Amino acid sequence: MAATTTAIALTLSSFTLRSTSPSKTFSFSKPSKPISLRRTFRPLSLTPQAKPSDIDTSFFDDVNPEEDIVFDPPTPPEGFTPPPSFDEGPEETEDEIAAAYEELYGPAYSGVSVLGNDVYVMDSKVKKSSAFGKVKKEKVRDGFEERVVQVRRVTKVVKGGKQLHFRAIVVVGDKQGQVGVGVGKAKEVIGAVQKSAVNARRNIIAIPMTKYLTFPHRSEGDYGAAKVMLRPAAPGTGVIAGGAVRIVLEMAGVENALGKQLGSKNALNNARATVVAVQKMKQFREVAQERGIPMEELWK
């Protein structure tokens, strides 16, 4: 690099520039030092650097650190009225505090509503946010009890692989003649149970029963490959059935009945076959009304 720089310098020293007019001639003298083509740049600092002489500490010259500093606030202007203290206001009653609490967070754990709301009737679609910001759904209090019949893991084969879900079968009933069977799928077990409970409430049916809490007559029902046979029983017999049939009858409030699964052992199909068999049943008064005869003539 040094040899190249020296060669360039010698070339420039012997270079003569002549213009078109013969009276003007320019010549470059030989440099005393070799010319360097490198340029050095000074780094730019964006942060201002303060010097010790720029700091003004004259304010602390007259301050004694051992002396007690007295707080001397400015005098208030004329006509200034200080605000009342928080503790000087009128005390709130317990009913006012409970009403304010219920307006913000709902009824208290005592179950007594100060604002006159019904704490036992709640909409299942109302969503409330928890302390962590997650949305959770309150449990419905509509008089129906829920019982999970089966929870299975199911997979769906797609182009990218397999999708894992859970399928839940839930039976809801009030044990007073109303029952429903529902099924739901979700990626979590809790979500699947909630979906199936909502689906079961949409499929509520009424079961005809006698005063002995049994069926009025025999009935059979089938759904798919499942077939269910139902028979009335004498008082004190109990529910003699198994699997999903027993759960459906217990949630409906039947106390004396006989049930038998004759076909497939699939829980969902047997539960729906039980519903089909129950829907075929009729009360004696309904049959007499359809025939147009009094109930006494049904057994003649």
pLDDT tens-digit series, residues 135-193: 555 555 678 899 999 999 999 999 889 999 999 999 999 999 999 999 999 999 989 99
Residue range(s) occupied by CATH 3.30.160.20 in the chain:
145-206
**Segment among 64-73, 145-154, 248-257 with least mean pLDDT:** 64-73
* Cut 0.95: pTM above it: no
Is the per-residue pLDDT at 228 higher than 80? yes
Residues whose CB is less than 8 angstroms from the CB of residue 212 and which lie 6 or more positions away in sequence, other chains included: 234, 235, 256
Whole-number Å distance between alpha carbons of 153 and 169: 12
Q: DSSP for 262-294?
A: -S---HHHHHHHHHHHHHT---HHHHHHHHTS-
Residue 108: other Cβ atoms inside 10 A: 13
Q: Is the pLDDT of residue 81 over 50?
A: yes
- Say how far apart CA 295 and CA 216 lie, in whole Å: 14
* Confidence check: pLDDT of 201 > 60: yes
CATH class of 219-299: alpha beta
8-12, 174-178, 267-271, 286-290: which has the minimum mean pLDDT? 8-12
Tokens in use for 49? 């650097």
Q: Which of 9-13, 82-86, 114-118 has the lowest mean pLDDT?
A: 9-13
The hierarchical CATH code for the domain 145-206 is 3.30.160.20
Question: Highest mean pLDDT range out of 58-62, 78-82, 86-90?
Answer: 78-82
Better pLDDT: 299 or 89:
299
Helix (H, G, I), strand (E, B) or coil at 145: strand
Distance CA 33, CA 118 (A): 101
Highest-pLDDT range among 18-27, 88-97, 117-126, 276-285: 276-285
Which of 150, 207, 215 has its CA nearest to residue 173?
A: 207
